[in-house]
């Protein structure tokens, strides 16, 4: 649940849009007022709040200090104005541009008082309170983080969008829980309540392992003179960190674990082997997928998932069909080269309902798939292998199989020859469509 940048470039137009429809209403009222004055100045009505708000915005122009002054004056005159949230937000952003973090934090908390269950506003208040770097601010931020955690825990699947699968919703909730636990644990850390910090940070890491949680746990253990735990946590952070560009610098973690290791062991001896062992353990645990379709032995009894949405894709309807499977992974260069050839063959059989073409992804880290599919628009149906690779002993990529009408392998290609692949696969599909008892062919390259 990372917070978004807080200081976009503001213009009078943006502020007007932010406070819409009040600004448009104010403009209309102002125009009407001008027209009325030209007709009869004596009959002009006193300015209403919308007109005064419009005037406050117009008079400030591009001067942020004047904007703050004018809007605060408006609030003094109209303390119960209905759209105070919009005005408070404008004051927050203008105050940040003036580097007045105290005023910005104050107005963010006023926004919270009006919108106590708006997570984005709560996060904004927490970030601004943290910038003040004082214990009172941290304590208020802590109370807001507890409120967010309660909101996330009480979230129900019934509230999810129809476009989001239950599995996707559950994964997002896990991520939100982990991020909120980390946020609160980090605030406990800054308040020097290390026991409470470890409880939340441990829960965050167990829910969704991250370098940030592990690094903070390492720092907490080090401050509590628990060197062995500090070493363990720093090693996990080192395994999960992403060079210098991630949220946690692997270089900085290397310095921290080196220092603690020397304090515990007197030298760096053994540290390298320890880091490698931890790396293997952590990455295997982090990337390990649930063992789907465990115990299923028949192809048509498998239920896969669509990579695009996570929606179930049962294979029971493939009985009596010829199914062509392309097993691939995002990191596999030859798979990228094969895909357009596979798609070309699939297009040739598009009008034959008895032939089904599927691309089965085998990445251990499934989070790599969505960005890949956004970049490379594959035309065949993309599913997660979900144990099919285990059923057919696929251990190299790309591997292409043809499953005949009886669920048996009619063709297998481990690797491929670009010049002949499309012709060979097309011919094999036609033979499988024509014959139900064809002997399996193997085409190892």
Quickly list DSSP for 313-371.
Answer: EESGGGTTSEEEEEEE-TT-HHHHHHHHHHHHHHHHTTT-TTEEEEEEE--SSGGGHHH
pLDDT at residue number 14: 38
Stretch (H or E) spanning 58 = helix 49-60
Structure tokens given for 218: 């390492």
Query: What burial class does residue 185 get, using C-beta atoms within 10 Å of its C-beta: 0-12 exposed, 13-18 middle, 19+ buried?
Result: buried
Choose between 405 and 366: higher pLDDT. 405
pLDDT at residue number 288: 54
Span 295-319, average pLDDT: 91
Same domain, 322 and 402: yes
Span 225-234, average pLDDT: 95
Same domain, 308 and 417: yes
Structure tokens given for 159: 């509230």
Residues in the chain: 445
Q: Are 54 and 45 in contact (CB under 8 A)?
A: no
CATH number of the CATH domain containing 327: 3.40.30.10
pLDDT at residue number 286: 56
Question: What is the overall mean pLDDT for the chain?
Answer: 86
The string of pLDDT tens digits covering residues 105-123 is 999 999 999 999 999 999 9
Same domain, 378 and 407: yes
Same domain, 273 and 327: no
pLDDT confidence bin for 246, thresholds 50/70/90: low
**Spatial distance between the Cα atoms of 240 and 238, rounded to a whole number of angstroms:** 6
pLDDT at residue number 47: 67
The string of pLDDT tens digits covering residues 22-78 is 444 444 444 444 454 445 554 556 668 999 999 999 999 999 999 999 999 999 999
pLDDT confidence bin for 244, thresholds 50/70/90: low
Same domain, 260 and 321: no
Classify residue 231: in a domain, yes or no. yes
Classify residue 132: in a domain, yes or no. no
Span 331-348, average pLDDT: 93
Same domain, 322 and 377: yes
- Please give the share of the chain, as a percent, with pLDDT higher than 70: 85
Span 151-178, average pLDDT: 87
Within 349-445, residue ranges assigned H as helices are 369-375, 388-391, 421-434
pLDDT at residue number 370: 84
Span 277-290, average pLDDT: 71
Same domain, 257 and 336: no
Backbone angles phi, psi at 355, to 5 degrees: -115, 125
Classify residue 99: in a domain, yes or no. no
295: left (phi over 0), alpha (psi -120 to 50) or beta: left
pLDDT at residue number 374: 80
pLDDT at residue number 29: 41
Classify residue 29: in a domain, yes or no. no
pLDDT confidence bin for 402, thresholds 50/70/90: very high
Same domain, 436 and 305: yes
Classify residue 276: in a domain, yes or no. yes
Structure tokens given for 337: 């080269």
Same domain, 217 and 259: yes
pLDDT at residue number 281: 82
Span 248-277, average pLDDT: 93
Structure tokens given for 69: 């002054």
Classify residue 48: in a domain, yes or no. no
**Spatial distance between the Cα atoms of 388 and 220, rounded to a whole number of angstroms:** 44
Classify residue 324: in a domain, yes or no. yes
Span 308-315, average pLDDT: 88
**Which segment of 77-81, 124-128, 221-225, 278-282 scores lowest on mean pLDDT?**
278-282
Looking at 219, 253, 288, the residue that finishes a domain is 288
pLDDT confidence bin for 377, thresholds 50/70/90: confident
Contacts of 119 (CB under 8 A, 6+ apart): 1, 148, 151, 152
Same domain, 304 and 435: yes
First to last CA, the chain: 47
Same domain, 380 and 273: no
Q: Are 411 and 402 in contact (CB under 8 A)?
A: yes
Same domain, 277 and 331: no
**Spatial distance between the Cα atoms of 234 and 258, rounded to a whole number of angstroms:** 9
pLDDT at residue number 87: 96
Looking at 264, 288, 312, the residue that finishes a domain is 288
Domain count, the chain: 2
Domain limits for position 240: 209-288
Choose between 221 and 291: higher pLDDT. 221
Q: Are 115 and 85 in contact (CB under 8 A)?
A: yes
Backbone angles phi, psi at 403, to 5 degrees: -100, 120
Question: Beta 381-384 vs 312-314: how paired, if at all?
Answer: unpaired
Classify residue 338: in a domain, yes or no. yes
Is the pTM higher than 0.75?
no
pLDDT at residue number 441: 53
> Is the pLDDT confidence value at 5 over 50?
no
Among residues 376, 371, 379, 374, which one has the least CA distance to residue 350?
379
Looking at 265, 288, 311, the residue that finishes a domain is 288
**Spatial distance between the Cα atoms of 129 and 75, rounded to a whole number of angstroms:** 23
């Amino acid at each position: 649940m990372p917070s978004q940048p807080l200081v976009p470039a503001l213009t009078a137009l943006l502020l007007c849009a932010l406070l819409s429809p009040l600004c448009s209403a104010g403009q209309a009222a102002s125009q009407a007022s001008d027209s009325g004055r030209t007709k009869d100045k004596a009959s002009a009505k006193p300015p209403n709040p919308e007109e005064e708000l419009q005037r406050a915005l117009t008079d400030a122009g591009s001067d942020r200090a004047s904007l703050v002054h004018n809007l605060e004056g408006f609030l003094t005159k109209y303390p119960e104005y209905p759209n105070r949230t919009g005005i408070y937000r404008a004051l927050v952003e203008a105050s940040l541009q003036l580097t007045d973090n105290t005023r910005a934090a104050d107005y963010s908390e006023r926004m919270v008082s009006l919108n106590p269950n708006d997570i984005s506003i709560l996060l904004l208040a927490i970030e601004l309170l943290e910038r003040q770097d004082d214990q009172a601010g941290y304590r208020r931020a802590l109370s807001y983080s507890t409120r967010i955690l309660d909101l996330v825990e009480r979230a129900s699947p019934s509230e999810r969008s129809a476009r989001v699968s239950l599995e996707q919703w559950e994964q997002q909730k896990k991520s939100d829980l982990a991020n909120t636990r980390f946020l609160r644990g980090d605030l406990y850390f800054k308040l020097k309540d290390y026991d409470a910090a470890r409880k939340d940070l441990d829960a965050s890491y167990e829910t969704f392992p991250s370098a940030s949680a592990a690094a903070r746990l390492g720092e907490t253990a080090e401050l509590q003179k628990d060197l062995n735990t500090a070493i363990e946590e720093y090693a996990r952070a080192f395994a999960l960190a992403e060079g210098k560009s991630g949220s946690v610098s692997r270089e900085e973690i290397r310095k921290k674990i080196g220092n603690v290791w020397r304090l515990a062991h007197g030298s760096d001896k053994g540290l390298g082997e320890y880091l490698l062992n931890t790396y293997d353990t952590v990455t295997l645990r982090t990337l390990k997928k649930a063992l789907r379709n465990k115990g299923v032995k028949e192809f048509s009894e498998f239920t896969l998932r669509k990579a695009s949405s996570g929606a179930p894709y049962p294979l029971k309807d493939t009985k009596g069909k010829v199914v062509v499977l392309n097993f691939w992974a995002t990191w596999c260069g030859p798979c990228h080269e094969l895909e357009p050839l596979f798609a070309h063959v699939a297009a040739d059989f598009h009008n034959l309902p008895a032939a089904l073409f599927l691309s089965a992804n085998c990445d251990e880290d499934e989070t790599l798939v969505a960005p890949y599919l956004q970049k490379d628009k594959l035309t065949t149906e993309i599913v997660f292998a979900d144990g099919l690779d285990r059923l057919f002993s696929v251990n190299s990529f790309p591997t292409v199989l043809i499953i005949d009408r009886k669920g048996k392998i009619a063709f297998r290609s481990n690797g491929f020859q670009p010049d002949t692949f499309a012709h060979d696969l097309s011919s094999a599909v036609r033979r499988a469509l024509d014959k139900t008892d064809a002997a399996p062919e193997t085409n190892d390259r």
